[in-house]
Structure 1
Amino acid sequence: MAAPARTADADLVAHGAYVARVGDCVACHTAPGGKPMAGGLALNTPFGAVYSTNITPDEATGIGRYTFAAFERVMRKGVAADGHNLYPAMPYPSYAKITDDDMQALFAYLKHGVQPVRQANRAPGIGWPFNMRWGLALWNALFLDDAPFRFDPAHDAQWNRGAYLTQGPGHCGACHTPRGIAFEEKALSDAGSDGRLYLSGATVESWHAIDLRNLWTVDDLVALLKTGQNQYTSAAGGMTDVIHHSTQYMSDADLKAMAVYLKSLPDGAAGPAAEPAPAAAEPAGLFTSKGGLGYLQFCASCHQTDGRGFASAFPPLGGNPAVLSDNPESLIHVVLTGWKSAQTATYPRVYTMPAFDQLSDQELADILTFVRTGWGGRKDAITASQIGKLRGRIVSAPAGAPDYATPRFASMLDQPNAVQLVRGMRLNMQTKALLPRNVGDSLNCASCHLNGGTVALASPYVGLSAQFPSYASRAGKVISLADRINGCFVRSMNGKALPVDSADMKAMVAYFDWMKNGYHMKDKIPGRGTGKIDDTLRPNLAHGRQVYASQCASCHGANGEGTKRADGSSVYPPLWGDQSFNIGAGMARRYTAAAFVKNNMPIGAHNRFPLAQGGLSDQDAVDVAAYFTTQPRADFPPKIHDWPNGGKPKDSRY
């Protein structure tokens, strides 16, 4: 077959660029921080690491001297220009199905549409006997079917297009089809005696690639491939890169064709597609089991107590294939190493889930068992040994114990007053719902004291009860812990004080005492307060408005109104208006708010434990804090009595 002309036709190159997108060439042939298509990415196999090669048109280290015949032999037979056999980590068994026209266009693109990069290829990290390449010729003889894609007349053109894209350039089977003892895909298509195994799910680099057969609806499949998320899940692991580099750029017609093909396949091993979990109250055990309390503390801020997640940011758990799967490896992997959403044109902002490897194997086992029971209906528990085994493979040695020791909700169950402590915790997390007559806005204590007051630099309660009674300059007198709590009720929650002798106030005080952690009056407590901010910075309100729109509005609403569930309860709190904190609250002060924002907002921004929170500069934090604290909010008439002995802060609103 003749090679394309040296001066390639622009349309041919553009066509080849599209084929390269479908084939996701850039994802495997680009190392982290490296030049596109220059290779060097480690592809881990059961036999060792294989490094992707330089496929730029550099003549010394890339494919610049390749003829089309040599290129085609690589793609269809896995044999390089110098005659050595490639390892099947390169999905040439799938690429063998690429049509002649697409193959010629792809070659034209790689030769004339990619910048050459001089970068030598790395030798594979594979030991004897698997480094003996003559065995790969035998592998090809046994397992390679290099026949081109065959149009099936029993199906229409759309189905056949989807089958071609899935089986050929899209090489979906390379990850989603189980492999045999020789690393061969057990089926290369849905045809034949082994066809039912095709796309039935497999484990790849300690991620479980899900069963794609008859999965969801066509529209749900298209949504995931186009945007990185749908009503069931968000992409994770290697699929995040596939969507980021490849499928989001495919035409709607091609994505629909693939979805039609996948939906047509008979149910795989996991049975029929899962449906979203029905809207319901919290799962049984949320407040009475260690797994439930662990979930509440470390997961519910993003995934919510009902497991619904938060649209466009944090995926749901009900109907999520990682939760429903017989194989929990992806679920364990994501809590140990974290997650990032796919960056797509539809969802350009990347959200991050931090790694929870600071939690013990047993803690994670309890939490994941609770999740799979509550939203997956599963009866099989995840064990600490399962967590530990995968941790040993994928987690680097920890950097050392943090200065701030995060209290664990689950440990309250070991205390003799566990019922009272859990009630105190719930009053912090669900203040509005449990004390509606005392809360006048839409806030909870946990709106400012994140994760029930257990997060460093988010006004944690650790050691706080040891500091009372103490003199408060705002009140001009010595106050008790109960007085301080009531100050939040009347200011931050624009409500009414809770009787100090009530069972609920005693539960809240007991909860604070549980977090005393052996501290004494005037001890230096790591993580206390909201941290420091440069209070000499002058705010720029116009810039603060821009920061708010880009970093805050997705959770707190375009007009500071917060976000709500269908029943009207708050998901993320309002930042101004009559449902937010009043003018007498500490958060109404510019630099207090700025310090909180700097260290805690936005959540889901990077890999910091426990909420991937913080990351704005001091100036950004001051600007956005000045913007939202100066917006309209409820007055606090008793403010005339504040700071009777002096000491009024310079950033007070009154």
Structure 2
Amino acid sequence: MPDVKRKILWSVLVTGTALASLSAMPARADDPAGPPPAPPAAPAAAAPAAPSADLLARGEYIATAGDCVACHTAPGGKAFAGGLRITTPMSDVVSTNITPDPDHGIGKYTEEDFEKAVRHGIRRDGSRLYPAMPYVSYSGMTDDDVKAMYAWFMHGVKPVAVTPPVTELNFPANLRITMAVWNLVAGSVSPETGDSATYDKMRRGRYLANALEHCGTCHTPRNMMLSEEQDSYLAGAPLLGWYAPNITSSKTSGIGTWSEDNLVTYLKTGHVAGLSQAAGPMGEAVEHSTSHLTDDDLHALAAYILQVPAKEDEAEHSPRAQFGQALDVPDIRSGELTRIDKLDEMTGPHIYDANCAACHGGDGAGTSDHYAPSLFHNSVVGSAHPDDLIMTVLNGVDRTAGGLHAYMPGFDHGSDVQRLSNTEIAALVNYVTSTFGSGDHGVTPDQVEKMRKQLPKTP
């Protein structure tokens, strides 16, 4: 039996091999049947239609309103090529290249891939984005606006062949899967429906504030899990060394004394005489985003923000912009000159006169054209939080918006004009706030040093 089985098996193998060989042989030329006809070729897939000019224009406008360029462009780098270091409690997050370069950017992303990244924080490879990317806010974008933005990034942005450094956070944040848990805590919002361009004024303002401009990302305090505290919406929060102020309708802690036109002017130019001026992250938001919105959108955004329920800050007892007046004392340079050989003997008035008075005036009134703003009736100087004043002294201001340019040199260790120590900056800030603002806040050199470490970094 074994021999029979072996013979049968061998026969099957040989026969099968032979049949396979015969079936693989080409038909003879004289075979009347000839070779079987080849199946008809599948029609070539039609190339996707190029997006219309209107769709590209809408996509660019949405990307501008979303302020994508602010985080995805490093200082001195090419637009959207990434590389900006964003300081977080878990180390630095480095922004990615979102140009359409197929190897270094998002050129291989489908529209579905793009939507998952923008709305849900999920990359093309399935890994999770860190919430430095405001996808929780963007989750409220309409389908049409996501589609338009995708079209513009793929067809309207120049590809850049640059790969930024990889983000390396501390454990356990370096495990991107933990972001799935964070997303459950932070939540998301349902996408808006319909054509966002046709919304009524208040709905359009809410859409701009929450889904596109993501105002709450900076101006809303966060809990221990770093998700936004919605019951303190726009009530003010620390931000990379700066302080994003309370912008609720509170008349003492917020901007409840501002008119709609005041806020529109601020968002368009970054400056409103007698109220405030934008610097730091807000200066960038004005320059790259809000100053490019239409007047209708600016009024919609302002109207919505000004009706946000008031939230009070226990540290703020009077409107920030109502403090101070012009200094009515002799200029310290008009008296007998006193030689100071040791820098640590310089007081706040000496430091102010040497570094600030040339532009802001010995009396603090600024210039008549408001290029150098007044230091009294100034919400930055009048704030109970001196963070923004310290950071402005360190970082300076360089903002172009609404056809207006504002510049003030910084006085940090890399300054081209004057490098002030932590002790000098603390003395200067305390002098300015006590003379023109809400009082001496007792700023210390250690506070200045902590904020100095928050200055922008490049890879």
TM-score normalised by structure 2 residue count = 0.76
Q: 1:166 to 1:131 in 2, by over 3 A?
A: same
Quickly say closer, same or farther: Cα 1:43–1:356, change in 2 above 3 A: closer
Whole-Å separation in 2 of the counterparts to 1:40 and 1:386: 28
CA contact (8 A) 1:172 1:199 kept: yes
Secondary structure of the structure 2 residue equivalent to 1:34: coil
Alignment pair present for 1:113 and 2:156? yes
Residue type matched to 2:100 in 1?
P
Superposition RMSD in Å: 2.8
Distance change >3 Å, CA 15–CA 204, structure 1 → 2: same
Cα shift at 1:362: 3.5
Letter in 2 for 1:253: D
The aligned counterpart of 2:338 is: none
Matches within 5 A, 1:78-97: 78-97=121-140
1:308-347 map, 5 Å: 308-310=365-367, 311-335=369-393, 337-347=394-404
- Distance (whole Å) between structure 2 residues aligned to residue 395 and residue 168 of structure 1: 26
Cα distance between partner residues in 1 of 2:423 and 2:165: 40
Q: Paired residue for 1:203?
A: 238
Once the 2 structures are TM-superposed, how far is the Cα of residue 90 of structure 1 from its aligned partner?
0.2
Partner of 2:226: 183
For residues 24 and 392 of structure 1, do their structure 2 counterparts lie closer, same or farther at Cα, with a shift above 3 Å needed? closer
Change (3 A) 1:326 1:6: farther
Classify 1:395/1:274 alpha carbon distance in 2 versus 1 (closer, same or farther; 3 Å). Answer: closer
Between the aligned partners of 1:283 and 1:91, the Cα distance in structure 2 is: 49
| Mapped pair 1:303 → 2:345 | no
Amino acid at match of 1:237: G
SS in 2 for 1:219: helix
State the alpha-carbon separation in 2 of the partners of residues 280 and 147 from structure 1.
51
Secondary structure of the corresponding residue to residue 145 of structure 2:
helix
Q: Within 5 Å, which residues of 2 pair with 1:495-644?
A: none
Q: Which residue of 2 aligns with 1:368?
A: 429
Separation in structure 2 between the aligned mates of residue 58 and residue 356 of structure 1, nearest angstrom: 37
Matched, 1:221 2:233: no
Distance, in Å, in 2 between the alignment partners of 1:166 and 1:87 is 21
Q: Is the 8 A contact 2:325 2:376 kept in 1?
A: no
Distance 1:283 1:171, change over 3 A: farther
1:247 deviates by 1.2
Q: Contact 1:284 / 1:374 at 8 angstroms: preserved in 2?
A: no
CA distance in structure 2 between the aligned counterparts of 1:160 and 1:284, rounded to whole angstroms: 54
Query: Cα–Cα, structure 1 residues 65 and 174, in superposed 2: closer, same or farther, change >3 Å?
Result: same
Structure 2 residue aligned with 1:385: 446
Q: 1:41 to 1:380 in 2, by over 3 A?
A: closer
Q: Give the corresponding residue for 1:585.
A: none
2:285 aligned with 1:242, yes or no?
yes
**Residues 625-650 of structure 1, C-alpha deviation per residue, up to 9 Å, x if partnerless?**
xxxxxxxxxxxxxxxxxxxxxxxxxx
Which residue of 1 is the match for residue 91 of structure 2?
48
Q: Distance in 2 between matches of 1:373 and 1:14?
A: 49
1:354 equivalent to 2:389? Answer no
Q: 1:172 to 1:6 in 2, by over 3 A?
A: farther
| 2:142 and 2:193 in contact (8 A); partners too | no
8 Å CA contact 2:320, 2:383 repeated in 1: no
Query: Any residues of structure 2 matched to 1:120-269 within 5 Å, and which?
Result: 120-149=163-192, 157-187=200-230, 194=231, 197-214=232-249, 215=255, 216-231=258-273, 232-269=275-312
Instruction: Confirm or deny: 8 A CA contact 2:383 2:438 kept in the other structure.
Output: no
Paired residue secondary structure (1:148): coil
Say which SS state the counterpart of residue 375 (structure 2) adopts: coil
- Does 2:68 match 1:7? no
Relative distance call for 1:17 and 1:367 in structure 2 (3 A) is: same
> 1:256, 1:39 → 2: CA distance?
32
Q: Give how far 1:298 is off.
A: 2.4
Distance in 2 (alpha carbons) for counterparts of 1:74 and 1:352? 37
Alpha-carbon distance between aligned partners in 2 of 1:256 and 1:273, rounded to the nearest angstrom: 23
1:273 shift after superposition: 4.1
How far apart, in 1, do the equivalents of 2:112 and 2:388 lie? 40
Distance 1:304 1:150 in 2: 53
* 1:267, distance to aligned residue in structure 2 (A): 2.9
How far, CA to CA, are the matches of 1:129 and 1:294 in structure 2?
45
CA drift at 1:355: 0.7
Contact 1:233 1:316 in 2 (8 A): no
Give the greater-gyration-radius structure (CA). 2
How has the CA–CA distance of structure 1 residues 339 and 280 changed in structure 2, closer, same or farther, with 3 Å as cutoff?
A: closer
Distance of aligned partners of 1:278 and 1:381 in 2 relative to their CA distance in 1, 3 Å threshold: closer
Distance 1:372 1:254, change over 3 A: same
How much has 1:32 moved relative to structure 2?
2.5
Higher relative contact order (CA 8 A, sep 6+): 2
Q: CA deviation at 1:94?
A: 0.6
Aligned to 1:512: none
Deviations 1:307-353 (A, max 9, x none): 22223421222232222222212211222x23123112421x44222
Give the Å deviation of 1:264: 1.1
**1:16–1:106 contact (8 Å) kept in structure 2:** yes
Relative to structure 1, the CA distance from residue 284 to residue 323 in structure 2 (aligned partners, 3 Å threshold; closer, same or farther) is farther
Identity %: 38
Query: What count of residue pairs does the alignment treat as equivalent?
Result: 379
Instruction: Find the partner of 1:103 among 146, 149, 164.
Output: 146
TM-score, normalised via structure 1 length: 0.54
What secondary structure is seen at the aligned counterpart in 1 of 2:401? coil
1:165 CA displacement:
0.2
**Which of 33, 36, 56 is 2:79 aligned to?**
36
Structure 1 CA distance for aligned equivalents of residues 126 and 319 of structure 2: 45
Structure 2 stretches of 5 or more lacking a match?
Answer: 1-46, 250-254, 336-345, 414-418
Classify the secondary structure of the residue corresponding to 1:374.
helix
Q: How far has the Cα of 1:279 moved from its partner?
A: 5.0
Q: Compared with structure 1, are the counterparts of its residues 212 and 6 closer, same or farther at alpha carbon in structure 2 (3 Å cutoff)?
A: farther
Indicate if the aligned counterparts of 2:216 and 2:228 stay in contact, CA closer than 8 A.
Answer: yes
Judging changes above 3 Å, is the alpha-carbon distance between structure 1 residues 395 and 280 closer, same or farther for their aligned structure 2 residues?
Answer: same
